[in-house]
Amino acid sequence: MSDTTGKVITCKAAVCWGAGEPLKLEDVEVAPPKAHEVRIKVLYTGICHTDEYTRSGSDPEGAFPVILGHEGGGIVESIGEGVTSVKVGDHVIPLYTAECRECKFCKSGKTNLCSSVRATQGQGLMPDKSSRFTIKGREILHFMGTSTFSQYTVVADVSVVAVNPAAPLNKVCLLGCGITTGWGAVAKQPGVEGSNVAVFGCGCVGLSAINGANLVKASRIIAVDTNPAKEAWAKKFGATEFVNPKDLPAGKRIQDHLVEITDGGLDFTFDATGNVDVMRAALEACHKGWGVSTVIGVAAAGKEISTRPFQLVTGRVWRGTAFGGVKGRTELPGIVDDYLKGSVKVDEYVTHEFSLADINKGFEAMHSGDCIRAVVDMS
Ligand code: NAD
Ligand code: DAO
Ligand code: ZN
């Protein structure tokens, strides 16, 4: 038991007060965890596009004021009554995709989505419909059930997993979203071994999908990105080829080019751009009869996907995945161990590091085109 157990902790947090505003460093009060809740001292957090999506006001359902952040790593400071999933002192990763192991979804064996805290998480609240964050008595909302842009955060016990303490948290915090998402989307997709694969978008998520395709021994891994600087990145992560759609002859569509160079199309394609036109191209680049295209990217509000239905009638499959289909509490410790053994890349994604005071520079870096992931030191 620490000397802060049961007490309100006042600490620094980067608060988003409104859409489009830079985050503001504030003294925030963090209440002790209630039953089935865990208070975590956050040591590091990555910045991911979903944080920016809400900060910039692109999410029409984004609510303020809020403490963003969902790619974190820290140490359990205290636990509420009934918590058995973690203990004080554990090194943990908060999970924006909970795993209760009791709901219809968890028990289905068909999905990693979990309904246990879904409704309140979407409202920026803890399961009892209240917040643990205040500033001078004013309630501040949680985000994605994680809020890792605070030096202390409170999460539901189903939304956190203990990992090997030998793993550096300034790296494995990234397994809380982007890396696990890309890796899982490929590694958990049956049939990729020996197949040809195209990954559209070579950011953190796409590079991780490429790494996953390499690990499961896909025969051909074609990376597609409009940024020429991503060729070197893609090849470093295992791509066998790189195509920049901008280099194609005028009027030539990327899907037609890919179908030509693969004798009819890809066995598997993955969208890691969030662009709905790219999602269509990824589907239409699939081989007739069996090609499977997975949407990983999150599209801007109001966007819709389309293709000719004949693309599906003729045997292509269009699917999607959240958090790579990974069940966080069950599978993330093993992924951390695979990282420690050297099979899953993590360190390689960290291109920028910032202090909490400079967290807004991390958001600027994300728009620069040369940032794969920025990690923020929360101390
Ligand atoms: P990122 O911005 O770092 O990478 C996107 C890449 O796509 C960039 O390299 C960019 O140059 C490239 N790109 C942009 N337009 C393109 C085009 N027309 N053709 C080819 N390449 C193009 O983003 P990221 O962090 O890798 O995330 C990728 C997407 O995945 C985002 O939409 C993000 O919101 C989403 N995401 C989804 C999940 C999930 O669970 N499904 C989890 C994390 C992130
Ligand atoms: O269970 O209904 C649900 C929603 C689950 C949300 C999954 C979020 C997937 C996209 C996350 C984007 C990046 C963090
Ligand atoms: Zn569940």
User: Nearest ligand, CA of residue 203?
Assistant: 1
363 phi/psi in degrees, rounded to 5: -65, -40
What pLDDT is stored for residue 179 in this prediction?
98
In this predicted structure, the answer to whether residue 2 has a pLDDT above a threshold of 90 is no
For the residues 136-147, what does the mean pLDDT come to?
97
**Would you give the end-to-end CA distance of the chain in angstroms?**
21
**Hey, how many other C-beta atoms are within 10 angstroms of the C-beta on 99?**
25
Q: Whole-number mean pLDDT of the chain?
A: 97
Sheet bearing 133-135, strands edge to edge: 9-15, 24-30, 133-135, 138-140
Up-side HSE of residue 68: CA atoms within 13 Å toward CB?
Answer: 32
Percent of the chain scored above 90 by pLDDT?
A: 94
- CB of 73 closer than 8 Å to CB of 40: no
112: confidence class by pLDDT, cuts 50, 70, 90: very high
What pLDDT is stored for residue 1 in this prediction?
65
Query: In testing the pocket of ligand 1, which one of 48, 49, 253, 275 has its CB within 8 Å of the most ligand atoms?
Result: 49
In this predicted structure, the answer to whether residue 49 has a pLDDT above a threshold of 90 is no
Whole-number Å distance, alpha carbon 4 to ligand 1 midpoint, is 40
Tokens representing 18 are: 């409104």
User: Quick one: which atom of ligand 1 is closest to the CA of 254?
Assistant: 19
pLDDT tens for each residue of 193-245: 999 999 999 999 999 999 999 999 999 999 999 999 999 999 999 999 999 99
Burial class (CB in 10 A: 0-12, 13-18, 19+), 209: buried
What pLDDT is stored for residue 291 in this prediction?
98
In this predicted structure, the answer to whether residue 48 has a pLDDT above a threshold of 80 is yes
- CB of 67 closer than 8 Å to CB of 149: yes
Cα–Cα–Cα angle for 102, 108, 113, rounded to 5 degrees: 75
- CB of 256 closer than 8 Å to CB of 236: no
Query: Does the CB atom of residue 278 touch ligand 1 within 6 A?
Result: yes
Q: Which DSSP category does 56 fall into? A: T
62: confidence class by pLDDT, cuts 50, 70, 90: confident
What pLDDT is stored for residue 78 in this prediction?
98
Query: Does the CB atom of residue 322 touch ligand 2 within 6 A?
Result: yes
Whole-number Å distance, alpha carbon 110 to ligand 3 midpoint, is 12
Q: Which residues pair with 10 in a beta bridge?
A: 29
Q: Which DSSP category does 60 fall into? A: T
Three-state secondary-structure class, residue 184: helix
User: Quick one: which atom of ligand 1 is closest to the CA of 277?
Assistant: 18
369: confidence class by pLDDT, cuts 50, 70, 90: confident
- List of residues 6+ apart from 332 with CB closer than 8 A: 93, 95, 161, 163, 175, 180, 326
- CB of 140 closer than 8 Å to CB of 67: yes
Ion ligand 3: residues, Cβ under 5 Å: 100, 103, 106, 114, 116
What is the pTM (predicted TM-score) of this model? 0.97
57: confidence class by pLDDT, cuts 50, 70, 90: confident
Tokens representing 153 are: 């955060």
Whole-number Å distance, alpha carbon 330 to ligand 3 midpoint, is 12
Three-state secondary-structure class, residue 180: helix
CA–CA distance from 73 to each of 76, 151, 256 (Å)? 10, 11, 43
pLDDT tens for each residue of 182-193: 999 999 999 999
95: confidence class by pLDDT, cuts 50, 70, 90: very high
**Hey, how many other C-beta atoms are within 10 angstroms of the C-beta on 343?**
11
- CB of 315 closer than 8 Å to CB of 335: no
Query: In testing the pocket of ligand 1, which one of 144, 205, 370 has its CB within 8 Å of the most ligand atoms?
Result: 205
Distance (Å, rounded) from C-alpha 275 to C-alpha 217?
27
